[in-house]
Chain A
Amino acid sequence: MLNEVDLNAILVTIKLATISTLILLLIGTPIAWWLSKTKFKFKAVFEAIIALPLVLPPTVLGFYLLITLGSNGPVGKFLESIGGSSLAFTFSGLVIGSVIYSMPFVVQPLQNSFSSIGRRPLEIAATLGASPIDRFFTVAVPLARSGFITAGVLGFAHTVGEFGVVLMIGGNIPGETGVISIAIYDHVEAMEYGQAHWLAGGLLILSFLMLMMVYIFNRRFSIMRNSD
């Protein structure tokens, strides 16, 4: 069965995925909204930057994060100069890495569902006296509901499943930066297949259930909208 290190890994993973997902939704929503509305000439540059983690090996991303956040990197130096400490091998560093790594999984579904709303519902709201912020929360958000569900679930699941970035900038400190995916790796290295099975099987089932939820919800939602 699971030992204390494993239980800690599960707790750290859940905490990391929850915090990262919340931050991702907070940051990703305005970015996705802007991308869906803007006619900015160099929009493609921003879209490409956000999509980079989709194609980069996670170790590349983790390497650059380590350089930037470590005590010799620009961010690390700045933090130490104001009395803080470097973010490498800390939980906060892990959160920053996860947010960047999972960004496209949150921004893209949101951007797609904002775009598919079109301008009509927002114009209706404007002629009924709703200010831009009012329109966003009372029209755009409810109409992009399926996008938010997809974004939240994918962001969470993807953060749970990350390995390379965590390995590079997290180290593997039990209770601090030790996550499930690394715990599985350690068990396999140590030939403890039984424990690896528990964790790996758990992740497999969890991921499957979360994805199925997204598909069921999106189908119900699209049937509702297409019946118009």
Chain B
Amino acid sequence: MIECNLNIRLGNFMLDTNFSIPDKGITVIFGASGSGKTTLLRTIAGLEKTVSGFLKIGDEVWQDGVDFVPPHQRSVGYVFQEQGLFNHLDVRGNLDYGIKRSSAIEEVFRDSILNLLDIKPLFNRAIEELSGGEKQRVSIARALLIKPNILLMDEPLSSLDLKRKEEILPYLDALHDELDIPLIYVTHSPDEVSRLADYLILIDNGKVIGSGKIEDMLTRFDLPISHGVGATSIIEANIVGRDENYELMHLDFSGEIFVVADNRSAIGQTIRLRISARDVSLTKERQSNTSILNIFKAVVDDVVPEGKSQVMIRLKIKDSIILSCITLKSAEMLNIKIGSKVYAQIKSVALLS
């Protein structure tokens, strides 16, 4: 468990946070620019001193208002947004800087990190010879090589162009699968949230406005993230079979079968699906003459108005929750109320990993 109750005053800006998050998986801190995300991350690393409050990582208290563990004594890996490498050292020198200052790092562990992030070909390169994506890979490797108790990443992709982002995202997916320490990841990109987050902290103007599991947070109507054109839901599903004739995969979630385009992942693997609220339409009867493959029985869990002409609906498909955004007129025609039984037709999904 990571417990955090911190108050930071920087000039006119106040950051007031109180949350606890699980000590494994990826926790994403999401909010607009200037909302205090980076300050919060820096505070966890001990880089901001004007802080009062309490911070506990696992069994270690890092600050409690009286004692303050300085940053070099906190077991933390930090990946900066940009310019996060020492220019006076080469790649090897950068990696060794942290290793030399940590207690014995085994060769096997070191190799596993270097292989995971594909660092070995870069070893003797000078920092200015690296691309933006390579720099971030070296930063991540350097942070992991000190075997920290927690890994912090401050918008590691925001300084990269789209191509470089695509290049580095698979490495982050690999981290997601391999890492046994908690990762706190700051971003303002909704795409990175839905792809990486297990747990989500929403921050707005210095205040934490909500925190919880990603699936729940995306579908909580009291939070801004569940409204507007970006409203999406996430489902984790297992690959259970494939249809070679049509190049399709069958995915199981809560006992229902989802059919999607085959992405060549192995059977048994878990895959994350993103479903935009605008891609989910509702019918009262199951349609048979339709091009839509994915139609599920669902129960309306909640309905709220979305602007003047639309409604946002939270649907339960067995244990899973998805969002649907339809027009107010349709909702009235179908007589949608809490508890209504409907069929959800999902027009398209995005496979995230």
Contacts and interface: CB of A to CB of B under 8 A. Distances in A.
A139 B94 CA distance: 11
Contacts, number: 64
B133 to A, nearest CB: 15
Interface stretch (A17-25, A116-124, A178-186): A116-124
A142 interface: yes
B128 A228 contact: yes
B143 A127 contact: yes
Interface string A111-139: 00000000011011111111110110011
A128 B128 contact: no
Nearest to A120: B83
A143 interface: yes
B197 interface: no
Contact of A142 (B84, B85, B88): B88
| Interface size class of chain A, counting residues whose CB lies under 8 Å from the partner chain | 20 to 34
Interface string B120-159: 0000000110000000000000110010000000000000
B52 to A, nearest CB: 20
B42 to A, nearest CB: 8
Interface residues of B, number: 27
Contacts of B83: 120, 228
Given A123-B47, A228-B87, A129 B102 contact: yes
B71 interface: yes
Contacts of A126: 46-47, 70-72
A78 to B, nearest CB: 41
B258 interface: no
16 contacts: A120-B84, A123-B47, A124-B78, A127-B71, A127-B72, A127-B76, A128-B142, A129-B73, A129-B98, A130-B72, A130-B101, A135-B72, A138-B97, A143-B87, A228-B87, A228-B128
Interface of B: 45-47, 70-74, 76-78, 80, 83-88, 97-98, 101-102, 127-128, 142-143, 146
Given A125-B97, A127-B45, A228-B83, 11 more contacts: A120-B83, A121-B86, A124-B86, A126-B71, A127-B72, A127-B74, A128-B146, A129-B102, A129-B146, A142-B88, A227-B128
